[in-house]
Chains A and B, each alone.
Chain A
Amino acid sequence: MKDKKAEKSDANRRNFLRLGLMTGVTAIAGVSLANKFSDVEEKKPSGEKMRLLTPDGKIVEVDAENINMYPEALVTPEESRKGIPNRKFVMVIDLAKCKNARKCVEGCQKGHQLDYHEEFMKVQLIQNNEESSPYWFPKPCFHCDEPPCVTVCPTGATFKRDDGIVLIDNNRCIGCKFCITSCPYSARSFNWGHKDKFDNKDIPYSPETGVPAAEGTVMKCDFCPDLLRQGELPHCAKSCPMGVIYFGDKNEDMVTNGEETVRFSTLINDRGGYRHLEHLGTKPNVYYLPPVNRQFPLERGFEVEEEVQERYKDVPYVKDLKEQGKI
């Protein structure tokens, strides 16, 4: 009799434990799910308080943990995965205005501390068919909505953010180069060896600036999110003297090249905007306006250093020009 009772209570306890365990697991799962769906990330308070002055003149006390220790507009690798809320960045490049002045290339190199030979933005000489005349084609990363590079990354080092930007966290990159081979636009480059500038630890690394770069990791055009956070245009758009590069927000339906601000949808509709290699299904966020009514003759693009000229020597059209003695 006693045994039976003991057994019964034992069974009860076991049931109780099982129930408890199950609710526990459900609760944990629920909380983690809830966390995933809510955008607010809870941080453990450090206990240390700091006093800050708000823009409207009030003094508030906040937890030290909530303060961004990074310099202005520099976000941590963790935060940089989220993206700027409610934005959908888009670039429009007006091919009619480009004359290969290479200011976008240089501005980008300066902004990202790239060497003379490293470029995120390349200017290609493209000829659509034998009858049409070639044109200069600035090529950044297209920040695709279906990015093949992000799909193949084995560690999640490269990622797609909510605001449409594709970034690389070079703290996470193992350098397998699969993303480079899978990008149909050859937008990515690799740090093949060590350079002194990699050791510069003056500013903390952020995927949003890509500085300092690291040996054995991949890098590419990043749409300069650090500038976007400050309400500025990316380096390339800022430095283009012809206003070739428009940048803006698709949600606002506005793009600007710094001088004129236009409706994105009107621009694309009226001027026949297209995306390069649309048939690959990568859904780029960089649009091109066709090179009609060009403002400069193509040859103006060869008014660059000889070393840069040499970079186009294999283009069939350039070979013809050289034979005719035009350049």
Chain B
Amino acid sequence: MDFARRKEELVKEFTPMLEKNNLRSKIWIGSLIVIVLIGFYAFFVQVTKGHTVTGMRDNVVWGIYIINFIFFVGVSYSGAFISGVLHFMKTPWKNSVSRIIEIITVLSLVIGPIFILLCIGRLDRLHYLFLYPRIQSPITWDIIAIMTDLVGCFLYLYLTFIPDLAIMRDNAGENTPAWKKKMYKFLAIGYQDTESQRNRLHKIIRIMSAMIIAMAIMAYTVLAWIFSLTVQPGWNSSIFAPYFIIAGLYSGVSFIIITMYIIRKYFHLQHYIRKVHFIVAGAVLLIFSLLYGYFTFSEYFSRWFSHKESDNNLLNTLFTKYFWEFIFANYFGIIVPVIILFFKRFRKIRYITIAAIIAVVGMWLNRYLIVVPTLETPYLPIQDTRPEFIHYTATWVEWALSFAGIAAFLLFFTIILKFIPVIPMSGIIDNERKALADKRITKNRRLK
């Protein structure tokens, strides 16, 4: 089989997707930019007027910024975890989804930390974290972990891009603008897809895939510790780190399923992203939803059963003021996906995606219920404070910035897909090459 020609074919197949520029995509990109710009305006308001424009006050000092931060970093970490496992185990059908997962991993890790910056009162002093670092502080650990994770994930994403960048460089059509060709050439760093280069790259990717699993677990554990190392009633829990790890995987897999669904629909990739991918992802999601439900149950059950006064107060807040949120996050958000994924007759692409959406929304709410009610129910009851300081409601600034974060995520995703095909072409070729080699081996055996 002539692989050079096959590459050309693949480029021809995928280039229209990169250059897809119809009205719908223009409206899509335009509205994303508008949402991001509104976010910028909200940020401007927050910087000039101070944090008074947010709903955060002396008791609830962390609001939906922190929740978004946990959420995005969780998605990223689980993306790294899953992608690492797929690569490391050399899963055969991974090729069609691996790039989606890798892009999700890196982008959410870029967007997530922005939310923690929004939470900081003095952004002008951010460099103090490096000027006067205190290694005893979990925040310092978090910074180290997230920066390491970010570098690792970037490297990993780039490594997986190299063969495709080389293919794009070698097969650039006449329509491709010169700057794009130059960019491909620069980024492909002289990769020629020779036997030795290929082996070396595969080896590096394999090592990196194992490393980012470790880095991701570390980063998310440290994030959970930011809460669990304090003495606060709802946070000081020894299962928080593993709980966060499972919860992160739960939301991450759901996020991947939703993205797969959208990309499959939009680019008409039914040939590549097949039902089997959804079924397998659904099975993985089922496992995680059961684990997540188990952890959630253990967490709240032990608080309820031992009924320490502080825990009682917290549960009281959860079951009065946050009743419906609690029901949605921790009953509906777990049981419904479990039912959908458990019964074979529901295992259709559409139902699996609906389960994933419910899981993502439920997860976000679950994080809200971990952060806000705890801060509203401290050891010493909130008294002798002005009424507007007692409860937390997010303001438009916070919502605008949250949606801007999501929009920025989608925008970057769209832009990346303008440069590189969403299905790794090199992966298709590798699979075909391997199939050919296998065929040869069996043929030789037969001849013997």
Contacts and interface: CB of A to CB of B under 8 A. Distances in A.
A148 B121 contact: no
Interface centre among A125, A151, A172, A181 (most CB of B within 10 A): A181
A178 B379 contact: no
Interface centre among A123, A174, A217 (most CB of B within 10 A): A174
Interface residues of A, number: 48
Interface stretch (B167-175, B225-233, B260-268, B433-441): B225-233
Contacts of A117: 386
Given A181-B61, A193-B52, A175 B120 contact: yes
Contacts of B381: 124, 314-315
Contact of B379 (A184, A188, A308, A311): A184
Interface centre among A119, A177, A282 (most CB of B within 10 A): A177
A152 interface: yes
A251 B121 CA distance: 38
Given A148-B230, A182-B232, A184-B378, A176 B384 contact: no
Interface residues of B, number: 47
Contact of A216 (B53, B122, B136): B122
B50 A192 contact: yes
Interface string A140-174: 00000000100111111100000000000000111
A21 B50 CA distance: 52
A178 B380 contact: no
B147 interface: no
Contact of B380 (A119, A124, A157, A314): A124
B129 interface: yes
A190 B57 CA distance: 8
A157 to B, nearest CB: 8
B128 interface: yes
B130 to A, nearest CB: 9
Given A176-B120, A185-B379, A190-B58, A155 B51 contact: no
B383 A312 contact: yes
A282 B230 CA distance: 12
Contacts of B239: none
Contacts of B121: 173-177, 190-191, 215-217
Contacts of A125: 383
B122 A175 contact: yes
Contacts of B386: 117, 311
Interface string A197-215: 0000000000000000001
Contacts of B129: 154-155, 174
B62 A181 contact: yes
B383 A124 contact: yes
A184 B232 contact: yes
Contact of B137 (A151, A185, A193, A315): A151
B62 A177 contact: yes
A177 B375 CA distance: 12
A155 B54 CA distance: 24
A186 B380 contact: yes
Given A124-B380, A174-B125, A193-B50, A155 B134 contact: yes
A314 B232 CA distance: 21
Contact of B383 (A122, A151, A175, A216): A122
Contacts, number: 143
Interface in A280-305: 280, 282
A152 B135 CA distance: 9
A95 interface: no
Interface string B112-141: 000000011110011011011110111110
B382 interface: yes
B132 to A, nearest CB: 5
Contact of A215 (B50, B133, B137, B378): B50
B230 A152 contact: yes
Contacts of A182: 230-232
A176 B375 contact: no
A154 B61 contact: no
Nearest to B132: A155
A74 to B, nearest CB: 23
A49 interface: no
Contacts of B52: 192-193
Interface of B: 49-54, 56-59, 61-62, 119-122, 125-126, 128-129, 131-134, 136-140, 143, 226, 229-232, 375, 378-387, 390
23 contacts: A151-B136, A154-B129, A154-B143, A156-B134, A173-B121, A174-B129, A175-B120, A175-B122, A176-B139, A181-B230, A184-B379, A185-B380, A186-B382, A188-B58, A192-B50, A192-B57, A194-B50, A215-B122, A216-B121, A217-B121, A217-B122, A310-B387, A314-B390
Given A155-B128, A178-B226, A193-B51, 17 more contacts: A123-B384, A152-B229, A154-B139, A155-B129, A155-B131, A155-B132, A175-B122, A176-B119, A176-B121, A176-B139, A180-B58, A185-B379, A186-B59, A215-B50, A216-B50, A276-B380, A277-B379
Q: Which 6 A-B pairs have the closest CB atoms?
A: A175-B121, A216-B121, A193-B52, A193-B50, A154-B139, A177-B61
